[in-house]
Structure 1
Amino acid sequence: MNRALTGLRPARLRPLDLLRVGLIGPRTRKLRAALSALGIALGIAAVVAVTGISASNQQHLLDRLDRLGSNLITVGPGTDARQQPVPLPKEAPTMLGNIAPVQHVTTTGGTKAAVYRNDLVPPGQTNSLTVLSARLDLLDALRGRLRAGRWLDQAAERLPVTVLGDAAAKRLGVTSAGERVWMTGKGVAGQWYEVLGILRPNELVPEIDAAALVGGPQADAHLGGDGTPATVYLRVHPDRVAAVQAVAGATANPAQPSTVAVSRPSDLLKARAETQDTLTGLVLALAGVALLVGGVGIANTMVVGVMERRGEVGLRRALGAREGQIAAQFLIEAVLLGLLGGLAGVAIGAGAVYGYAAAQGWPAVVPVVWASAGPVMAVAVGTIAGLYPALRAARMSPTTALRAA
């Protein structure tokens, strides 16, 4: 008998058998397993969705920047030491055009008029809109596009017609070409202007979006324009933007170069994209909290599961299962819950990114790093959360477990 006993070897489970044993809990307690995995899924979905939406937005900005061009420089009036505005000289566009790397120069000019939906609107309610004169080549220089109607031409620039920026059209309630708006101002006789066209939004030049544009001859003759440039737009050789930016002020106004405002609008778009990193970091921190809560949920489920399954643990121990096998069973169960939650979270997060990007008209970008790291993070959280319950189950005495069952 002793020889027979000494010939016995400890029971061993193959990896596939161990996996089957680990699936007992999720298969028999489906609702509890699903709720536990849901916490992990929400955390991973938040990580994927936040990073994906941020990446999609940045890609949209970069695509717009590539189309609009990063070689645009704007030159406008600045202020003197007393903070009084100093207008640009009328010769500024010509002088700036003489800079060798400058490829295209165009301007807008100020007027004394304001634009209203009709002649019944009180003069003070301007809706923060301006009326600017525009050269015929302005649209090409800014690489703008029309949403409706057409742009000014040689005949239209002398007529009472206007092209509205996107924001101006929305504030005035104008939806299509052919409608009329009212223009008047101090020393300017009121007159109806037909809407010739409506522009699409242009991130590089928001001042155009909130303006009503008329031809230069019409503005000078009827709207109080005097030919002084309000803003000069320069298209520059892409490799010489910084050099032109450095000399533009002195070239535009040699007598007072410090009173000239020179900017590169594309820098603002890049800064806008970079500032999103701060918000992304904050939301990722919240997603980390969601992962922590999901881990606690898994740990809680596993602890309760160990208490409910004491009879099973005691029976398996009595039949020869070792402590390591019992611990592996519960640890595999926790890891599977984390893995299922991670995969579901990636799917939910990617779906949110594609849905939001489609609604906004952006290119959908799901960061591969986060999509790949999501399940790995979930498995790690599940492993940590299931470690204590697994060890607790493994240390149960067979007699105590069977007695408590």
Structure 2
Amino acid sequence: MDIRDLWAEALAGMLARPLRSALTTLGTVLGITTLVITLGVAATAGNQIVGRFDELTATAITVEVPEKADPLVTWDAPAALTRLRGVTSAAALAQTDESSNLQVASNTLVDPARVTNQTLAVVAGGPELPQAVRGRMTEGRFFDAGHVERRDRVVVLGDQAARMLGVTRLTSAPAVFIEDRAYTVIGILGGLRREQILSTAVIVPPTLGADFGLKNVTRVLVNTTLGAADLIAGQAPVALSPNHPDALQVIAPPSPTRARDGVQDDVNGLFLILGMVSLVVGAIGIANVTLVTVMERVAEIGLRRSLGAARRHIAAQFLLESTLIGMTGGVIGAGLGLVSVVAISAAKEWTPVLDARLALAAPVAGALVGLLAGLYPSLRAARMEPVDALR
């Protein structure tokens, strides 16, 4: 049988029952559409998730400073960091286990109807701390370099600590008592996006930190521009402690590229399983309809065999029919899938991520599904004897 005759017979067989062929193609259409949509949406969603990850956490670096008799990092060392290109803010912190559980009271009066004593953490921080923790002053102001130089007895409360102590307004210059020593509250810090533990802490200037065992810096918070975290993570120890950079431990965010690949791989794996299940359903539909078609065309098969058609010709005809059905479903499914990805992205205001290789591979995948689905019906048709078929 000439290849052109084989193609014409397979096409005629597929178009002889257009409604049945259309319903059979629908199974592949659904499978390919689901596959294209899931992979496209997975790539788009993964890109969106990584964008949000970058904005929130991929620019934050923490430098842990071990406690030693001679300070490894001075309180003014973060100023050297801000001169590095890519650093937006940096601040030093000091906190110890001893300073994490101190008695703090909002007044010295004993009021049975109100709890005025709280166990809170006391933290020493530099004037740049609000920018470093990405917070804002909900009340008052943060202490500045003048407060530090004059050793003013001022403190800033975290928003939750202020609520616990009953300090809501600063118009009357309220004071808190830490270990029976009075300090004026000049501000309340809230809206923290880093170091949320500071929301329940009392923040004191570095010059007052020695009163609570907070003489040396224990942690430096650094914020960078997007994409500069890896570079600054390598430069920060040298800038903070030129003589002992290896003694500092830098906690840098994971690479955005690795995060994107991880998210996309996880989502792709999940949706790929769903797409494969849909393809299996479509393949079963093609196999069932092709088998029914073989049984209905027994007389035609017998006539062809009696006129000289070999078994391979009969098998090739039905195999090509099922392959054409699968390829048609793949083409239609790829188109619908790409349109759906664009529509979903537009509705969510995302940037669609479309892989041209997927669109080109979809018809091939559909044809392969049709080919595999048509194997058994084609072999069954090829095994028929002419006499039995004609009978």
Query: Which residue matches 1:190?
Result: 166
**Distance verdict in 2 for CA 1:210–1:44, change over 3 Å:** farther
| Equivalent position SS for 2:166 | strand
For the residue of structure 2 that corresponds to 1:23, the secondary structure is: helix
1:23 to 1, 15, 27: 15
Q: C-alpha displacement at 1:77, in angstroms?
A: 2.6
- The range that moved more, 336-345 or 56-65, is 56-65
Residues 263, 392 of structure 1: CA spacing in aligned structure 2 closer, same or farther, 3 A cutoff?
same
Give the alignment of 1:95-110 within 5 angstroms.
95-97=80-82, 101=85, 104-107=88-91
Q: How much has 1:59 moved relative to structure 2?
A: 2.6
Give yes or no for the alignment of 1:272 onto 2:250.
no
Question: What is the CA distance between 1:365 and its match in structure 2?
Answer: 1.4
Q: CA RMSD in A?
A: 5.5
Q: Deviations over 1:313-345 (max 9, x none)?
A: 335666x58456644542343123312432454
Residue of structure 2 in register with 1:249 after alignment: 237
Q: 1:306 aligns with which of 294, 297, 300?
A: 294
Q: How does 1:163-242 map to 2 (within 5 A)?
A: 182-184=160-162, 189-192=165-168, 207=194, 230-233=219-222, 235=224, 242=231
Could you tell me whether the CA contact under 8 Å between 1:183 and 1:192 is conserved in 2?
Answer: no
Contact persistence 1:52–1:366 (CA under 8 A): yes
SS in 2 for 1:246: helix
State how far apart, in whole Å, the 2-side matches of 1:400 and 1:236 are: 79
TM-score (norm 2): 0.60
Structure-2 separation of matches of 1:249 and 1:135: 21
Q: 1:2-401 to 2 correspondence within 5 Å?
A: 13=5, 15=7, 18-28=10-20, 31=23, 33=24, 37-38=26-27, 40-61=28-49, 63=51, 72=59, 74-78=61-65, 89-97=74-82, 101=85, 104-107=88-91, 156-157=141-142, 182-184=160-162, 189-192=165-168, 207=194, 230-233=219-222, 235=224, 242=231, 244-253=232-241, 257=245, 260-265=248-253, 267-276=254-263, 278-279=265-266, 282-283=269-270, 284=272, 287-288=275-276, 290-292=278-280, 294-314=282-302, 320=307, 322-323=309-310, 326-347=314-335, 349-350=337-338, 353-354=341-342, 357=345, 362-401=350-389
TM-score when normalising by structure 1: 0.59
Matched letter for residue 190 of structure 1 = G
Query: Structure 2 counterpart of 1:191, which letter?
Result: V
Structure-2 change in CA distance of 1:89 and 1:375 (3 Å): same
| Matched residue SS, 1:54 | helix
Report Cα offsets for 1:159-187 as digits up to 9, x if no partner: 99999xxxxxxxxxxxxxxxxx65349xx
Assess if the C-alpha contact under 8 Å between 1:336 and 1:379 holds in 2: yes
Structure 1 residue 293, shift from structure 2 partner: 5.3
Structure 2 CA distance for partners of 1:401 and 1:68, relative to 1, 3 Å: same
After superposition, the C-alpha distances for 1:114-163 in whole angstroms (9 at most, x for unaligned) are xxxxx99xx89x9xxx9997967966x89x8x9xxxx6599754799999
Aligned-residue offset at 1:247: 4.4
Distance 1:335 1:347 in 2: 19
Using a 3 Å threshold, how does the CA distance of structure 1 residues 210 and 217 change in structure 2: closer, same or farther? closer
Tell me, yes or no, if the aligned pair for 1:51 and 1:367 is still in contact at 8 Å.
Answer: no
Q: Flag the 1:387–1:195 CA change in 2: closer, same or farther, 3 A.
A: farther
| Amino acid corresponding to residue 375 of structure 1 in structure 2 | P
Corresponding letter in the other structure for 2:39: T
Matched residue type, 2:364: V
- Offset at 1:56? 1.4
**Which whole-Å CA distance do the structure 1 matches of 2:330 and 2:207 have between them?**
66
Residues 332, 80 of structure 1: CA spacing in aligned structure 2 closer, same or farther, 3 A cutoff?
Answer: farther
Give, in angstroms, the shift of residue 380 of structure 1. Answer: 1.7
TM superposition shift of 1:351? 5.8
How many residues align structurally? 339
1:398 and 1:237, CA in 2 relative to 1: closer, same or farther beyond 3 A?
Answer: closer
Cα offsets for 1:97-126 (capped at 9, x unmatched): 46x55654433757979xxxxx99xx89x9
| Secondary structure at 1:48 match in 2 | helix
- The alpha carbon displacement at 1:373 in A equals 0.6
Residues 189-198 or 45-54, more deviating = 189-198
Q: Which residue of 1 aligns with 2:183?
A: none
- 8 Å CA contact retained: 1:44, 1:346: yes
Q: Which amino acid aligns with 2:262?
A: T
Rounded Cα–Cα distance in structure 1 between residues aligned with 2:371 and 2:332:
17
Deviation at 1:379, TM superposition (A): 0.5
State the Cα deviation string for residues 207-232 of structure 1 (Å, max 9, x = none): 368875999889999xx9x8968542
Change (3 A) 1:220 1:304: farther
